[in-house]
Chains A and B, each alone.
Chain A
Amino acid sequence: MHDQPSVSELVQAVKNFVDETAMPQLEGRAGFHARVASNVLATILRDLEARTDNDEQEKTRLLRLLKNEAVSEDLSELNSQLQEKIRSGDFGIDSVPLMEHLKKTAIAQLKVDQPNYSALATALKE
Chain B
Amino acid sequence: MPATLILRRAPQGGEKSFDSAAIGLPNEARLIRKAEAAGVPVPRVVRVLEDSDDVGEGFFMTQIMGETIARRILRNDEFAAARDALPEQCGKALAGIHSIQLAGDPELKESSGLDQLSYYEDIYKSTGGCRPIFDLAMVWLRENAPAPLEPVLVHGDFRLGNIMVDEAGLAAVLDWELCHLGDPREDIAWMCTNSWRFGHTDKRLGGFGDVEPLLTAYERAGGQRLTARDIDWWEILGSMKWGVMCMLMYESFRSGADPSVERAAIGRRVSETELDLINLLEEQSHA
Residues of B within 8 A of A (CB): 130, 132-133, 135-136, 139-140, 194, 197, 199-201, 260-262, 264-265, 268-272, 274-276, 278-279, 281-282, 284-285
Contact A99:B282 (CB < 8 A) given known A86-B132, A86-B135: yes
A93 CB–B CB distance under 8 Å: yes
Chain B nearest CB: distance from A84 CB in Å? 9
Say whether A86 contacts B271, CB under 8 Å: no
B201 neighbours in A (Cβ, 8 Å): 118-119, 121-122
CB-defined interface of A74-116 with B at 8 Å, one 1/0 digit per residue?
0010011011001101011110001100110111011001101
The verdict on A70 contacting chain B, using a C-beta distance below 8 Å, is: no
Of A32, A92, A94, A110, which contacts B139 at CB under 8 A?
A92
Whether the Cβ atoms of A79 and B269 lie closer than 8 Å is: no
**A110, B130: Cα distance in complex, Å:** 16
Query: Are the CB atoms of A93 and B140 closer together than 8 Å?
Result: yes
Which residue numbers of A lie inside 8 Å of B, CB to CB?
32-33, 36-37, 39-40, 43, 76, 79-80, 82-83, 86-87, 89, 91-94, 98-99, 102-103, 105-107, 109-110, 113-114, 116-123
- What CA separation (Å) do A87 and B285 show in the bound complex? 17
Interface SS, B side: helix
Q: How many A-B residue pairs have CB under 8 A?
A: 98
Q: Which 9 A-B pairs have the closest CB atoms?
A: A118-B201, A113-B268, A119-B275, A109-B271, A93-B285, A106-B275, A106-B274, A86-B135, A113-B271
Nearest chain A CB to B187 CB, angstrom units:
22
Chain A residues, Cβ within 8 Å of B281: 93, 99
Q: Are B265 and A110 interface neighbours, CB within 8 A?
A: no
Using A93-B136, A110-B271, A113-B269 as known contacts, say yes or no to A36 and B261 having CB atoms under 8 A apart. Answer: yes
Residues from chain A with a CB closer than 8 A to the CB of B262 are: 32-33, 36
Given contact pairs A87-B139, A114-B268, a sample of 16 additional A-B residue pairs in the complex whose CB atoms are under 8 Å apart:
A43-B265, A83-B130, A86-B132, A93-B136, A93-B281, A102-B133, A102-B136, A103-B275, A103-B278, A106-B278, A114-B269, A118-B194, A119-B276, A119-B279, A122-B201, A123-B275
